[in-house]
Chain A
Amino acid sequence: MKKLLVISVTLVGLALTLCVPVHAQQQVRIIPAGNTPLVPAHLVNGPVPKLADGTVDLTGPWQGGGSNQDIEREGGLKPGELPLLPWAKALRDKRKERDEPYVACLPMSVPRMNPFPWKFAMSYTAKGLTHIYVLHELGDAGAHRVVYMDGRKHPDDFIPTWWGHSIGQLNGNTLVIDTVGYNDKFWFDSRGTPHTEQLHTIERWTRINYGTLVNDFTLDDPGAFSRPVQLKFTANLIRQDLELMEFICAENNQAGIAGGFQLNNEQR
């Protein structure tokens, strides 16, 4: 069944990518859209651009580079390979997609990426590069994810938050981000993979060529996983004339009406 679906999708996709000139007087181009337009394929393998100070330019904007529907599959593991503890596996299997906080316009957090663009925004002061902001068109719900680049350590004590506390450093073409202090409210994917406040993530973002950014991701959460796990995600450079646009998720979120369910109080 799945094979038939894949074939059908491929055929539909192929059919829709072809230009369909009806005749010269009535030409209509059918353009496959879907997600954010990416840079043309022939540019992807170009050299990694540098900033004026010689360091790698990680700006983007990018699409992808994280989980969305299933962190296990999208992170490069086979079904069942994600070392979830039994309670976490049971919770994941019980959860319903419609109950994900993201559906209620709450933050998607790490390492979730939806099909909308995002970028690293470098912030300089007289002391140099002190902060990197990760700006998502959608999914940060009005927060700003900040990575402290000034050499500070994590605080000893904190209130758990949706995006946690991130410290980072640049090693050549790789930005290493170490994060703790997450709350347990967001889901890793629409499938419902859970975590606890013990979550500690390490992202190693490497721009391997002009159009590609790899996220080597370490997930370490002894509260929900039996051991740390290594995942890998890839982000793609979007077409360079495009900018992040305004996206106010809460302005007209009608999720639940067609399906006859209401977003619960915790999600609102």
Chain B
Amino acid sequence: MKQDVLIHVKHDTFVKLAELKARLRKRSYDEVIKELIDVYEKLVQQVK
């Protein structure tokens, strides 16, 4: 899979992302972050 952008995250954050990636059974961190963003946006919508 071609990765377009490289970002740097702290080690702790990376560990959490990795744990989440394992739990969600995602193939990449990109998918995990996308999921996080989606959930966050839904939450914001619900709160609104």
Q: State whether these chains interact.
A: no
Q: B residues bordering A, Cβ < 8 Å?
A: none
